[in-house]
Amino acid sequence: MHQNGFTTTILHSDRQQSVEHGAVHKPMHPSSEFAYDDARELAAVFQGKAGFTYARQGTPTTTALEAKVNHMEGGKGTVSFATGMAALSAIFTTLLRRGDHLVSSQFVFGNTNSLLGTLLELGVEITFVDATDAAQVRAAIQPNTRMVFTETIANPGTQVADLAVIGEICREKNLVYVVDNTLTSPWMFRPSGVGASLVMNSLSKYIGGHGNALGGAVTDTGLYDWSGYGNIYEAYRKGPSTGWGLTQIKKKGLRDMGGTLAAEPAHRIAVGAETLALRMAKHCANALALARFLESHPGVAKVHYPGLAGHPQHARAAALFGARFGGLLGVELADGVDCFDFLNRLRIVLMATHLGDTRSLALPAAHTIYYEMGAERRKQMGIADSLIRVSVGIEDEADLLFDFDQALTGCLKG
Ligand SMILES: *Cc1c(COP(=O)(O)O)cnc(C)c1O
């Protein structure tokens, strides 16, 4: 039987629900509350029937976006959040309790690192490991370990976790396996294929893609059986046990904690998501061309990019991500090239945080997003003082190469 491809499926997924007035594009629903003609129907929705009550728990607009993300991930269910951090907070705080143990990659997004610090204060034990080496994950497992967390490609060092072997370990030990798929996006990689239980995507990045809306999503792959997971409240132990975890994340994370995605950003993200495949292909192609160009440039000491043959996990990335390597580069400048001088000379590339925008963005990582954590933790995470993080956009390739060349050459000439 014919199966539609990635983009066809995403484009048409919101028509699987009724679309009002035959509108080709799903309308936006900013209503805070939803009324019913029959009070019994209202009660039924409160008691678990599909439908809407109060927008803190979702709207037709967030539901349409969730359907798109769920299709992308091949998941069993997806819940959206106000930001990627709200999605991660919901996973960790609703599923872990004081005395539980989490094994986490040591190469994580800076704000995730800070969030994990909060969890430590709340009494969750955490062991940080080099997740490029699955043996370290295995060695860190304790009797009270409940969950393993890793990103796919780490930012900004571009380390690629040993995702498949970690998945095997989690299955063998019956641990919840959480994968942050933000840097790869479901176009490059589906974590369900390596046994992930839950997948987090920051929708603010590649999926939304246009730097005009924040959002996050948690997708349940349906691979984890929550019946043996002690932290699920009695009220959520209903229906198939593979769905209990997501129910708890939604009830606690959205209804109780209120990290809800509003209709307007959800709508913008849903529109952006339609071109994920097109944009991502260009991000990847530009990033590979730029990485190869910079690798041999006298103004550059080292380029971190999984698409380069010399990258320590190049072969793994090629196998896992279908020979596509993402849009993020870490660039260490040569001695004598000042990172601020270099950045100030760029003309097209914008000096800004964020990644996954259509425009190319660059920042001095140690002095900005990784400043708060201090020198020692930066060293542990492999973040050099001269490291520039580049989020490669979808500009014309020759213009990007020209801009980097003129800025580096300008620095070398002094
Ligand atoms: C940006 C990012 C997040 C957080 O997402 P927001 O939507 O900005 O809150 C989490 N993980 C990774 C890998 C990210 O790059």
Gap from CA of 254 to ligand 1 centroid (Å): 18
pLDDT at 344 over 90: yes
Mean pLDDT (the chain, rounded): 96
- The Cα 135–Cα 290 span in angstroms is 33
Dihedral of alpha carbons 263, 268, 274, 278, sign: negative
Confidence of residue 195 (pLDDT cuts 50, 70, 90): very high
* Assigned CATH topology for domain 277-413: Aspartate Aminotransferase, domain 1 (3.90.1150)
Closest residue by Cα to atom 11, ligand 1, is 109
| pLDDT at residue 20, rounded to an integer | 81
Q: Which residues of 331-347 are buried (b: 16+ CB within 10 A; e: fewer)?
A: bbbbeebebeebbebbe
- The Cα 202–Cα 89 span in angstroms is 12
Gap from CA of 84 to ligand 1 centroid (Å): 5
Q: Going edge to edge, which strands form the sheet with 145-151?
A: 77-81, 216-220, 198-202, 176-180, 145-151, 101-105, 125-129
Angle at 197 between CA 192 and CA 199, to 5 degrees: 70
pLDDT digits (tens, 9 = 90+) for 271-304: 999 999 999 999 999 999 999 999 999 999 999 9
Choice from 202, 212, 369 to test ligand 1 binding pocket (greatest atom count within 8 A of CB): 202
Gap from CA of 38 to ligand 1 centroid (Å): 42
The architecture of the domain spanning 6-273 is: 3-Layer(aba) Sandwich (3.40)
pLDDT at 158 over 90: yes
- The Cα 329–Cα 210 span in angstroms is 19
Gap from CA of 214 to ligand 1 centroid (Å): 9
Burial tier of 176 (Cβ tally within 10 Å: 0-12, 13-18, 19+): buried
Gap from CA of 152 to ligand 1 centroid (Å): 12
Dihedral of alpha carbons 184, 185, 186, 191, sign: positive
| Mean pLDDT along residues 33-45 | 96
- For residue 356, which atom of ligand 1 is closest to its CA? 15
Choice from 182, 370, 389 to test ligand 1 binding pocket (greatest atom count within 8 A of CB): 182
In the chain, what are the domain boundaries? Answer: 6-273, 277-413
| pLDDT at residue 207, rounded to an integer | 98
| pLDDT at residue 101, rounded to an integer | 98
Q: Going edge to edge, which strands form the sheet with 361-364?
A: 300-304, 328-333, 387-391, 361-364, 350-351
**Residue 129 CA to chain centroid, in angstroms?**
19
- For residue 151, which atom of ligand 1 is closest to its CA? 13
Q: Are strands 216-220 and 176-180 parallel, antiparallel or unpaired?
A: unpaired
Question: Is 242 within 8 Å of 219 (Cβ atoms)?
Answer: no
Closest residue by Cα to atom 4, ligand 1, is 84
Closest residue by Cα to atom 5, ligand 1, is 84
Instruction: Ligand 1: list residues with CB < 6 Å.
Output: 83-85, 109, 112, 151, 155, 180, 182-183, 202, 204-205, 214, 216
- The Cα 314–Cα 84 span in angstroms is 27
* The amino acid at 206: Y
Closest residue by Cα to atom 7, ligand 1, is 84
Choice from 80, 88, 105, 111 to test ligand 1 binding pocket (greatest atom count within 8 A of CB): 111
Supply φ then ψ for residue 249, to 5 degrees: -60, -40
Dihedral of alpha carbons 61, 274, 159, 406, sign: negative
pLDDT digits (tens, 9 = 90+) for 221-260: 999 999 999 999 999 999 999 999 999 999 999 999 999 9
Please report, for residues 340, 349, 385, 406, the alpha-carbon distance to residue 409 in angstroms, rounded to integers and kept in the order given: 14, 16, 20, 5
- Name the residue among 119, 148, 146 with its Cα closest to residue 231: 146
| pLDDT at residue 90, rounded to an integer | 98
Question: Is 320 within 8 Å of 195 (Cβ atoms)?
Answer: no
- The Cα 21–Cα 347 span in angstroms is 47
Six-digit token string for 301: 């000491």
Gap from CA of 15 to ligand 1 centroid (Å): 29
* CA atoms in the 13 A half-sphere facing the CB of 198: 30
- Name the residue among 331, 254, 251, 342 with its Cα closest to residue 287: 331
The H-or-E segment that residue 351 falls in is: strand 350-351
Gap from CA of 86 to ligand 1 centroid (Å): 9
Six-digit token string for 408: 């580096």
Confidence of residue 380 (pLDDT cuts 50, 70, 90): confident
Q: Are strands 198-202 and 176-180 parallel, antiparallel or unpaired?
A: parallel
Q: Are strands 101-105 and 125-129 parallel, antiparallel or unpaired?
A: parallel
Gap from CA of 374 to ligand 1 centroid (Å): 20
- The Cα 365–Cα 331 span in angstroms is 10
Three-state DSSP class for 362?
A: strand
Six-digit token string for 318: 């090629």
Gap from CA of 182 to ligand 1 centroid (Å): 7
**Report field, pTM of the whole predicted structure over 0.85:** yes
Q: 10 Å Cβ neighbour count for 32?
A: 10
Q: Identify which has the larger pLDDT, 21 or 360.
A: 360
Question: Is 302 within 8 Å of 156 (Cβ atoms)?
Answer: no
Gap from CA of 261 to ligand 1 centroid (Å): 15
Closest residue by Cα to atom 1, ligand 1, is 202
Six-digit token string for 62: 């967030």
Choice from 65, 85, 178 to test ligand 1 binding pocket (greatest atom count within 8 A of CB): 85
Gap from CA of 46 to ligand 1 centroid (Å): 32
